[in-house]
Amino acid sequence: MPQIHIAPDSEHLAQEAASFIHHRIHEKLEKVPQFSLVLAGGNTPVQTYQRLASMPTQLDWSRVHFFWGDERCVPHDHPDSNYRMALEMLLSHLPVPLENIHSMSCNPSPEEGARSYEDVLRRFFPAADVPQFDLILLGLGGDGHTASLFPDTRALDEHERWVAANWVEKLDTWRLTLTLPALNAAAAVAFLVQGSGKASIVQAALAGPPARLPAQHVSPEHGDVHWFLDRAAAAELPPGSAVTPVLPE
């Protein structure tokens, strides 16, 4: 069962999600030498990254490795780049060694970019048959996509590889994305969704018929799933949804 956290507004959502991420990293680094965090793209995570970047902390960021769940096929300095967004909002504010930042690139081609990213992951998770990320952050698109697993696209049917180049007809563009085997091997997944525009797709994803939307196929076998929503995005959830209310401090 996913754990649903509902915050009064986007500010509290960002604070709650940032605190969750910080706590997960802190908790895990007490037991193991490093933490692998997969960053989400799009707009929703911006406030969460800004909060995380500004939190007072004793965390040793040199023990955290950063990956991406997906990337647009644009240069890293392009306004649409998920790498650029995370760099500006989070990574440039933290003492993270460059070698801990594992960005995706569609160079020299989407297919070769996917293969080389998979090589990066297989080197980071040697002898593993799946990449065991400690925490994967995800968004939710209005059509139920997550990462760049869009409805009716080929990457949804990829059950072996960890990274895929995915042609997205509706956007007339290539994307790189982690596949469902990679997402579903995570120790934890956290969806970050805000705004009234997402209320109906959140209801469909969490209370609608199962396995219809790409996001509904994210269900880690040995991991926990969290949904961080603001009240606007949660507005169409049935009363009594198992929620962990986030009270304003």
Write out the E strands in 102-142: 135-138
- Give min distance, CB of 127 to ligand 6PG, in A: 29
Question: According to the binding rule CB under 6 A, does residue 244 interact with ligand 6PG?
Answer: no
Region of 22-30, 142-150, 182-190, 199-207 interacting with ligand 6PG (CB under 6 A): 142-150
Of residues 28 and 117, the one with the C-beta less far from ligand 6PG: 117
3-state percent helix, strand, coil for the chain, nearest multiple of 5 = 35, 20, 45
List the structure tokens of 109: 């081609």
Q: Which of 23, 27, 43, 119 binds ligand 6PG (CB under 6 A)?
A: 43
Q: Considering the rule CB under 6 A, would residue 70 count as an interface residue with ligand 6PG?
A: yes
Residue partners of 37: CB distance under 8 A and separation at least 6: 21, 25, 64, 65, 66, 67, 133, 134, 135, 137
Q: Whose Cβ is closer to ligand 6PG: residue 36's or residue 148's?
A: 148
Give 28 or 180: the residue with its C-beta nearer to ligand 6PG.
180
**Strands (DSSP E) found in the chain:** 3-7, 35-39, 64-68, 70-72, 135-138, 163-168, 173-178, 188-193, 224-230, 243-245
Instruction: Name the minimum Å distance from CB 10 to ligand 6PG.
Output: 11
Give the closest residue to 93 by CA, choosing from 117, 135, 59, 67: 59
What's the rounded Cα separation, in Å, for the pair 34 and 237? 37
Minimum distance, C-beta of residue 40 to ligand 6PG, in the bound complex (Å): 5
Q: Of these, 110, 113, 141, 144, which contacts ligand 6PG (CB under 6 A)?
A: 141
Which residue in 2, 8, 42, 220 binds ligand 6PG (CB under 6 A)?
Answer: 42
Rule CB under 6 A: say whether 81 interacts with ligand 6PG.
no
Between 28 and 39, name the residue whose CB sits nearer to ligand 6PG: 39
Number of residues assigned to the chain: 249
The span from the CA of 94 to the CA of 91, in Å, is: 5
First CA to last CA distance, the chain: 27
Binding to ligand 6PG by CB under 6 A, coded x per residue (else -) over 159-198, reads ----------------------------------------
* Pairing label, strands 163-168, 173-178: antiparallel
- To ligand 6PG, the closest distance from the beta carbon of 156 in angstroms equals 13
Q: Which is nearer to ligand 6PG, 6 or 40 (CB)?
A: 40
